[in-house]
Structure 1
Amino acid sequence: MPPVDARDDVVEAAAGTLGALLALVTTYPLITLNTRQHVTRRRERDGDDGDDAPSTSSLSSMYDGIEPALVGTACSQAVYNYWYSRANGTYRARRGRDATGAASLAIASFAGCVNVLMTLPIWTIVTKMQADTAAAKLRSATSEGGKKNGDQNGSGKKKRSFFDIAREVVRDGGVCGLWQGLTPSLVMVANPALQYAFYETVAKWRLKRDRKTTLSAPEIFVFGACAKFGATMLTYPLMVVKSRLQVVSKDMADDRMRYRGTAHAVRCMAAEEGLGVFYKGIETKLTQTILAAALMFTVKEKLAESVYAARRVLV
C-alpha cells in the first residue's frame, strides 16, 4: 500500500479496474453458474428435489454476457475506486488522516451508491444474458425440434445479443426497467463498503504495527479474501433477490416469478421455496467472490505500488 500522501485518484481507479477485469475473466464461469442457481426455482415443495433448469452447460455458454460484463466491470471499478479515493482524499484534507471505521464505511457506501446508479443498467442486461441460455435449454427440453435447427443455445432461437435483451427490458418495463433490482442493489452497497472498510482498516493496522509502507502480496491476498468472505455472508440473500428481479420478463411461462417488487419477491420466495432459497448457491458464490476479491486487491495494490515507485524515480 503506498504512503497516504502519495495516493492519486486516477492511479487508484486504473489499478482497481485492471485488477477487477483480471478477476472477472478468471472467475466468470462461476459467476454465470451462480446467477443460474439464483434464478431457477426449487421444486422440493412439489415433491421434486430438482431445479427448474438443466444442471449442465457448455463451457462457451458459461461465458455468456462476458463482453458487456467486462465493460460493466471497467465502468463499475473506475467509478467506485475514483469516488472512494476522492472522498477519502477530501476527508484526509479536512481531518489530517485517512478515514477508518465508521468514516471509511460511510465513504465506501457513498462511492457504492454512485456506482450502482450509474452502472446498474449494464448489470441488469448481463444477468439476463447469463440466465438466458439456461432458460433456453429448459425450453428445448420440452421440444424435440430445438437442436435440429442449428441454433446456438438449443432453444430453436438464435442466441440473443446485448441489444436484443436491452430492447426486451425496455419493452417490458420502460427505461426504468433497466434499473430493475435497484432497491436491493443499493442495500447491497454494504457488500463492497464492508469489504473495503474492513480491508483498509486491517491493512493500515498491519502497516502501523510492522512500521512499513507496503504489504506483501500474500498479506494483500489473505486480507482481501477475508474481507470479501464476511461481506458476502451478510449480503448474499439480497444478491439472490436482485437476480430474480432482473430476469423478470412478460414472456416468462412461470407466473410465480413475475414479482411486483423487492418485498413481493421476498415474500413469494420464502413462502414457495423456503428460507433456504436465500442462500442457494452460496458455496459457488463464496468460491468465486473470495478468489476474485483476493486477485483484485493483489493486482490493484501491486500495480499502484509500481506506478508510485516509478513516479518517485522519475520525479
Structure 2
Amino acid sequence: MSDALINGLAGAGGGIIAQLITYPLQTVNTRQQTERDLKEQKRKLGTIAQMSQVVKQEGWGRLYGGLTPSLVGTAASQGVYYYFYQIFRNKAEATALEHKKKGVGDGSVGIFSSLVVAALAGCVNVLFTNPIWVVVTRMQTHSKSSKKSEPSHSKLISPDEVIPAAIEPPPFGTSHAIQEVYGEAGLWGFWKGVIPTLIMVSNPSMQFMLYETMLMKLKKRRVSNKKDNGVTALEVFLLGALAKLGATVLTYPLLVVKARLQAKQVTTGDKRHHYKGTLDAILKMLRYEGFYGFYKGMSTKIVQSVLAAAVLFMIKEELVKGARSVLTKKSPVTARLKPP
C-alpha cells in the first residue's frame, strides 16, 4: 500500500470522526453565516442559545440536517486532499533532493513549496467535491419555519388544509436538496460558490504550512535535546488546533460568501437576499451589512473548525502510525533488514 493511499484513507477516517463530533456546531454556524436580516433576533443569540432554539422549535434532528451527504463529502474531501497532497509532497521532496545534489538548498521542502503543494491538493479537492457541499448547505439551512410562509396566501381559502402542512412540512432529504439546486440553476448550480471556495484553498494551505512548520520545529527540538519520544497525540492535537485557528481567522470572510451563494436564493421580494455571483454577493454584503456581515458566526466557526481540525490531525496521525506498523510487521524482509 502506497504512502499516499495510507494518508488518504487515514485522512478520510479522521475527517468522518471529527465531523460526527462537531456537526451540530457546523449546522448552527452555517445558519449564522446565511442570516441576512440584521433586525433578526437570532443574530444576538450565542451558539449554545441558538442550538437550544433549533432543538426547541425544530427538534434534535435539524442539528444533524444533511449529515449523510456531509459524511460522504468529508470522507471524499479528506481522502482526495490527503491522497493528492502526499503525491505532490513526494514530488516536491524529490525535487528538493535533486536541487541539493546540484548544490542548491539543503534538500528539505521549504515553506513556499509546502504552501504550493497544499494549494494544488486543495484545488483538486474543491473541483471534485463542491457539489456535495452545495447539497449539505441547503440541508443545513433548511428549516421548518422557512416553509410556514409559503402557503400563507391561501389561508383564507382553505385554512383547515393549509395549517397542518405549515406546522409539519414534508421531510427535506438529500434528493429534495438535489432537485432544488438543479431546479434553480441546472448542473452549474452544484458548483455555486466554487470561486470563493477555490480561493479558500488558502485556508488549508495556511493550516498545513503552519502545522508542518510547528511540527518540524518540535521534532528538531526533540532531536537536539536527545529525546526520542516522538510526538504525542496530545501535541498533534494542540498543533492542529493552533494551525487551524490562524488559518480560519484570515480566511473566514470567504467562507461566509461561499455559504451565502450555496444557500437557497430568494428570487422575489428584497433584492438584498439574492446574489448573482461572488462579486455581487461581496458588494451587497458591504452595502447592506457592512464588514460585520463577513464575520457572522465566526466564534462558532472557530470552536467548530479548531476542534474538528485538532481531532482530525490526531486521529489521522494515529491511523497512519497504526497502518505503517501493521504493514511493517507483515513484511518479513523488512523485519530481517531492520538493524538490531
Equivalent residue, structure 1, for 2:136 = 126
Of 308, 311, 314, the match for 2:327 = 311
Is contact 2:144-2:169 (8 Å) kept?
Answer: no
Shift of 1:134: 6.1
- Number of equivalenced pairs: 304
Of 227, 234, 240, the match for 2:250 = 234
User: 2:22 is matched by which residue type in structure 1?
Assistant: T
Shift of 1:303: 1.0
Cα distance change of structure 1 residues 141 and 199 upon mapping to structure 2, 3 Å threshold? farther
Of 278, 281, 287, the match for 1:271 = 287
Aligned mates of 2:148, 2:63 — CA distance in 1: 16
Is contact 2:266-2:273 (8 Å) kept?
Answer: no
SS for the counterpart of 1:57 is helix
Of 191, 194, 207, the match for 1:179 = 191
Shift of 1:146: 9.9
Of 57, 61, 65, the match for 2:54 = 57
Deviations 1:264-304 (A, max 9, x none): 11111111112111111111001101100000000000111
User: 2:130 is matched by which residue type in structure 1?
Assistant: L
Say whether residues 1:167 and 2:183 are aligned partners.
Answer: no
Aligned mates of 1:202, 1:7 — CA distance in 2: 26
Say whether residues 1:89 and 2:101 are aligned partners.
Answer: no
User: 2:54 is matched by which residue type in structure 1?
Assistant: S
Shift of 1:313: 2.3
Shift of 1:200: 1.2
Say whether residues 1:194 and 2:192 are aligned partners.
Answer: no
Deviations 1:144-197 (A, max 9, x none): 989963x6xx65531222122212212211211110001100010001111111
Aligned mates of 1:187, 1:280 — CA distance in 2: 19
Cα distance change of structure 1 residues 230 and 137 upon mapping to structure 2, 3 Å threshold? farther
Is contact 2:131-2:191 (8 Å) kept?
Answer: yes
Equivalent residue, structure 2, for 1:99 = 109
Is contact 2:222-2:230 (8 Å) kept?
Answer: no
Choose 266-275 or 80-89, whichever is displaced more.
266-275
Cα distance change of structure 1 residues 222 and 134 upon mapping to structure 2, 3 Å threshold? farther
Is contact 1:40-1:52 (8 Å) kept?
Answer: no
Aligned mates of 2:218, 2:160 — CA distance in 1: 61
Is contact 1:127-1:246 (8 Å) kept?
Answer: yes
Say whether residues 1:290 and 2:306 are aligned partners.
Answer: yes
Shift of 1:137: 6.3
Aligned mates of 1:160, 1:118 — CA distance in 2: 25
Is contact 1:69-1:123 (8 Å) kept?
Answer: yes
Equivalent residue, structure 2, for 1:210 = 222
TM-score for both structures, normalised by structure 1: 0.88
* RMSD of Structure 2 on Structure 1 (CA): 2.7
Which of 1 and 2 has higher RCO (CA within 8 Å, sep 6+)? 1
User: 1:292 is matched by which residue type in structure 2?
Assistant: A
Deviations 1:195-232 (A, max 9, x none): 11111121122112212483101110110000000000
Is contact 1:145-1:156 (8 Å) kept?
Answer: no
TM-score for both structures, normalised by structure 2: 0.82
Aligned mates of 1:7, 1:100 — CA distance in 2: 24
Aligned mates of 1:141, 1:52 — CA distance in 2: 29
Is contact 1:43-1:50 (8 Å) kept?
Answer: no
Higher Cα Rg: structure 1 or 2? 2
Is contact 1:136-1:155 (8 Å) kept?
Answer: no
Is contact 2:256-2:294 (8 Å) kept?
Answer: yes
SS for the counterpart of 1:60 is helix
Is contact 2:267-2:274 (8 Å) kept?
Answer: no
Cα distance change of structure 1 residues 121 and 177 upon mapping to structure 2, 3 Å threshold? same
Is contact 2:207-2:243 (8 Å) kept?
Answer: yes
Unaligned runs of 5+ in 1: 1-5
